[in-house]
Structure 1
Amino acid sequence: MAPDYVLIEASSQQELIRELQAAAQSQFSNPEELTGPIDDEQLQYWQFLLSDAIDRGAKAIPLLNIPGAGARRFDPIALIDIPPAARVLHEEIFGPILPIITIGNPLAAINYINQHPNPLALYWFGKNKKNLQAVLQNTRSGGVTINDVFLQATVDSLPFGGIGSSGMGKYHGKAGFDAFSHQKSILEVRGLLGTNILKGTRPARPPYSKKTDRLIRCLK
């Protein structure tokens, strides 16, 4: 799993960027402790997503004080003012590129999520319980973690999986046992009080009588 984008109200964007820069500098100031792309093909893919967004008008914000230092092959970076057509908003990133999208209010965030493929995971940050419930009730995602990330995938008692384009089915614990087990349906047909009255499909077969009419009226 890897975040595809962050939705945040415009008034909080600069504060978020400052916090991202502080966190990146604290965690990854030593180039040897920051992992890179697994191969040149992945590196070229990240570079393509970044250059495509910039060429379309997005602004790139380095999250480390000394970009390109030491052994780092690709620096953590945030993107803002991203045009809707940018490829980074339509493809999975799985890398240190974080698109930041400003929205006007929680309803706008819900609408944005619902206009895009259902995510495998959704992360909500905040203290407003009303806004939280609105997001939970009006969006679809494989799982949700509140005020943190990724942890829903580590709890065995919580089914893990996607929905729609993010995947179908769930595993972990009993959910995994059920997902990979075949449940064979078995139905034994019996009549009313051990008789043939109302037994199975008998009432639905012709010839029809007044009893059939009365049964249909009762079913309505």
Structure 2
Amino acid sequence: MEKQAVQRAREAFLAGRSRPLEFRVQQLKSLQRMITDRQGEIATALKQDINRVSVKHTVVVHYMELFYLELKRVLLGTQKGSTWNSKGMNKVDCNVLYLKAYIQPEPLGVVLIIGAWNYPWALTLQPLVGAIAAGNAAVVKPSELSEYSASLLKALLPRYLDQELYPVVCGGVSETQELLRQRFDHVFYTGNSTVGKLVMEAAARHLTPVTLELGGKSPCYIDKDVDLRVACRRITWGKFVNCGQTCIAPDYILCEPSIQNRVVEGIRQTLLEFYGPDPKSSPDYGRIINQRHFNRLMTLLEGYTATVGGQSDSSQRYIAPTVVKDVPPQARLMQEEIFGPLLPIVTVSDIDDAIHFINEREKPLALYVFSSNKKVIKRMLAETTSGGVTVNDVIMHYTLNSLPFGGVGQSGTGRYHGKHTFDQFSHHRACLVKSLGMEDVNMVRYPPQNRQKARRVRLAMRTPLVDFSRKTYIWAVTATIFAFGLLVTLTAILLIAGGLNCTCWRLWQIWR
């Protein structure tokens, strides 16, 4: 089944069905219509998958899963598709201005999109939008862990999109492995680094490029000179939304010992404000995706006494928002991505210690810095590396289409969001168009060679590049036309003036 789906998608792509811009826009509008029409069904599927929210709280679902996808990605891809697909003029040597050099974005072909379970709609449809906008065929593989969302996506997508160009393949590990045996032109995977390595290994057999959106332990440094009330509210939201199952959630806090207790108290008060005295009964607090992940998280907590929270219920896969302070760096909690509602606090002596602590570990997907000191912020940005950074907030860099989203090192490779997704799924083809005229200019490269030709080559190599962007090209043409018009006008004036002068001289001679 997987092989047939890929084959049909490739045949449809080779037939050219996905290339016309009008078709791409129509498919994106259909996808937008699906999101608008089916919000209630999507909310129900999420409730069944992860108890994200109660069914009646569709506004939360819309914000977390669909808001940025619907209003930013789809509309941006629809409205700016013609701009994204336009030819970009390139820099050329000014001694060969009779040629035309440009970059032409082209679709890669048939791509594979493997979604994630923690945000099964956003993390599957966001890359699909870019794949469609770029003119590709795309095989969509939703995560089997979010089974209700996967089944609904399989049922809905063929009703709104071309069934052959954008098939949905459901299933578990065996189905994913069978898909990875097929040859794709790009693989886009969102998930953990262990599976990411397997995806990259499978893609390497076909020399297929990959985009890996992974994760890691995203640190959150809190400076002592900051408004802790605001900082704790923002950190608490980013950490415990979706029950901590967010790839860019703050994984742990770094702060000086002098403010650790104030941070704990700030988080405690915020949790009371957000979820009430019993988060288990709050409609805004979710559950762990399955029993395996529940057991993994409870194992990470073994041997520690929770300063805040710590309660759990295996029958509901419930773990309360939990804070653990004075966690040693070598603890198991600090050795792997938590991906759940457990927040360890590690104390550091100062900003130097914090930077050293971060740089000793793998490069994270996100870095968060809370400080009112510009020097502290500048040092954190200059002396650390991460996929993305947000200062004095968390997660929000993900929401901006203008910023590329992706990891570095162990936290991933490649980037997407907005036009960056379009670029990720496009081949930027270098195009050079020359005239058959002016062959004398090319004689220097033909044998036999001599010193005169060598001097001309050296002169050409020293000639600076001219940036022929679209605006520069328009201005250059306009200036040329204006200069030519001005030259014609001046010539005419001089001719007329000369004629008048000659006539006046003759009249003067006659009068005399």
Normalising by the residue count of structure 2, what TM-score does the alignment of the two structures yield?
0.36
Quote the residue 1:40 is aligned against: 291
Quote the residue 2:308 is aligned against: 62
Which SS does the other structure have where 1:17 is aligned? helix
The number of equivalent residue pairs is: 204
Quote the residue 1:96 is aligned against: 341
Quote the residue 1:24 is aligned against: 271
Quote the residue 2:300 is aligned against: 49
- Counterpart Cα distance in 2 of 1:87 and 1:192: 71
- Counterpart Cα distance in 2 of 1:167 and 1:85: 24
Quote the residue 2:321 is aligned against: 76
- The answer to whether the Cα contact below 8 Å between 1:20 and 1:63 also exists between their aligned partners in 2 is no
Q: Could you report, residue by residue, the CA deviation over 1:89-109 in whole angstroms, capped at 9, with x for unpaired residues?
A: 111111110011111111211
- RMSD of aligned residue pairs (Cα, Å): 3.1
Q: CA deviation at 1:164?
A: 1.1
- The answer to whether the Cα contact below 8 Å between 2:328 and 2:346 also exists between their aligned partners in 1 is no
Quote the residue 1:196 is aligned against: 443
Q: CA deviation at 1:68?
A: 5.5
Quote the residue 1:115 is aligned against: 360
- The answer to whether the Cα contact below 8 Å between 2:250 and 2:394 also exists between their aligned partners in 1 is no
Which SS does the other structure have where 1:182 is aligned? strand
Which SS does the other structure have where 2:368 is aligned? strand
- The answer to whether the Cα contact below 8 Å between 1:161 and 1:168 also exists between their aligned partners in 2 is yes
- Counterpart Cα distance in 1 of 2:440 and 2:352: 56
Q: Could you report, residue by residue, the CA deviation over 1:73-125 in whole angstroms, capped at 9, with x for unpaired residues?
A: 32221122323332211111111100111111112111111111111111111
- Counterpart Cα distance in 2 of 1:193 and 1:121: 56
Quote the residue 1:105 is aligned against: 350
Distance 1:48 1:155, change over 3 A: same
Quote the residue 1:6 is aligned against: 253
Matches of residues 130-141 of structure 1 in structure 2 within 5 Å? 130-141=375-386
Quote the residue 1:173 is aligned against: 418
- Counterpart Cα distance in 1 of 2:440 and 2:263: 69
Percent of aligned pairs with the same residue?
A: 37
Q: CA deviation at 1:189?
A: 9.4
Q: CA deviation at 1:192?
A: 11
Runs of 4+ more than 6 Å apart: 188-193
- Counterpart Cα distance in 1 of 2:309 and 2:269: 8
Q: Could you report, residue by residue, the CA deviation over 1:128-163 in whole angstroms, capped at 9, with x for unpaired residues?
A: 011101111111111111111111111112111111
- Counterpart Cα distance in 2 of 1:83 and 1:193: 74
Which SS does the other structure have where 2:367 is aligned? strand
Q: CA deviation at 1:59?
A: 4.5
Aligned partner letter, 1:172:
H
Which SS does the other structure have where 1:158 is aligned? coil
Q: CA deviation at 1:72?
A: 7.9
Establish whether residue 15 from structure 1 lines up as the match of residue 276 from structure 2.
Answer: no
- Counterpart Cα distance in 2 of 1:44 and 1:32: 21
Which of 132, 139, 142 is equivalent to 2:387? Answer: 142
Which SS does the other structure have where 1:23 is aligned? helix
Distance 1:45 1:188, change over 3 A: same
- The answer to whether the Cα contact below 8 Å between 1:76 and 1:96 also exists between their aligned partners in 2 is yes
- Counterpart Cα distance in 1 of 2:255 and 2:378: 17
- The answer to whether the Cα contact below 8 Å between 1:24 and 1:63 also exists between their aligned partners in 2 is no
Aligned partner letter, 1:61:
T
- Larger deviation, residues 10-19 vs 21-30: 21-30
Q: CA deviation at 1:185?
A: 3.1
- Counterpart Cα distance in 1 of 2:348 and 2:450: 63
